[in-house]
Amino acid sequence: MAIEREAGPTHPVWVRRTGPGTFTGHNPRGATVAIGMADDPGAVFTPSELLKIALAGCSAVTGERPLVRALGEDYELEVRVAGESVDNRYPELTEELTLDLSALDAAARERVLTVVRRAIDGYCKVGRTIEAGATVTLEIEA
């Protein structure tokens, strides 16, 4: 039995099982991501890695405009997120943005860092959701 469901406001992303211990995540725009367990030999992300990537990606996307204004279209950025699981959850995640600001003077560097931090703190939905401790409601349809 194939379960088919239209994407919409209550189901904007979905995951389908593709085999034993493997799944594919989808969005309405056609993007996919392979999901599996840490011991899977294939090229998959674990759900925990996706959580960290969501946070890193949100910060990268949210900081994009001020960084382009300050550094130009060709700037390089790497965002890393790390955290150790304790009692089957992440009590703390550490996020690190790495970029080259050497072309800017000290005052311009401080302005860019302030604007980027404000943008991420104010508009990164993933980070704001994690910090607020969102309530998750699980519904199971059989």
What integer pLDDT is reported at residue 1 of this predicted model? 46
**Which of the four pLDDT bands, split at 50, 70 and 90, describes residue 38?**
confident
What integer pLDDT is reported at residue 3 of this predicted model? 55
Query: Is residue 137 in a domain?
Result: no
What integer pLDDT is reported at residue 39 of this predicted model? 86
Interval 76-105 mean pLDDT: 96
Q: 7 with 61, same domain?
A: no
Query: Is residue 141 in a domain?
Result: no
The percent of the chain in helix, strand and coil, each rounded to the nearest 5, is 35, 25, 40
Tens of pLDDT, residue by residue over 47-61, are 999 999 999 999 999
Q: 122 with 76, same domain?
A: yes
Q: 53 with 120, same domain?
A: yes
Q: 57 with 123, same domain?
A: yes
Q: 24 with 68, same domain?
A: no
Q: 119 with 70, same domain?
A: yes
Tens of pLDDT, residue by residue over 11-36, are 689 999 999 999 999 998 899 999 99
Structural domain range at position 107: 47-132
Q: How many domains does the chain have?
A: 2
Residues 6+ apart with CB under 8 A from 93: 52, 55, 81, 82, 83, 130
Q: Which residues pair with 77 in a beta bridge?
A: 99
Select the more confidently predicted residue: 139 or 64: 64
| Window from 39-53, 76-90, 115-129 with minimum mean pLDDT | 39-53
Q: 40 with 54, same domain?
A: no
How is residue 18 written in tokens?
Answer: 């593709």
Predicted TM-score (pTM) of this structure: 0.88
For the chain, percent of residues with pLDDT exceeding 90: 80
Q: What is the DSSP letter of 142?
A: -
Query: Is residue 139 in a domain?
Result: no
Query: Is residue 140 in a domain?
Result: no
**Which of the four pLDDT bands, split at 50, 70 and 90, describes residue 142?**
confident
Long-range CB contacts for residues 105-114, cutoff 8 Å, separation at least 24? 108/70, 111/70, 112/66, 112/67, 112/70, 112/71
What integer pLDDT is reported at residue 84 of this predicted model? 96
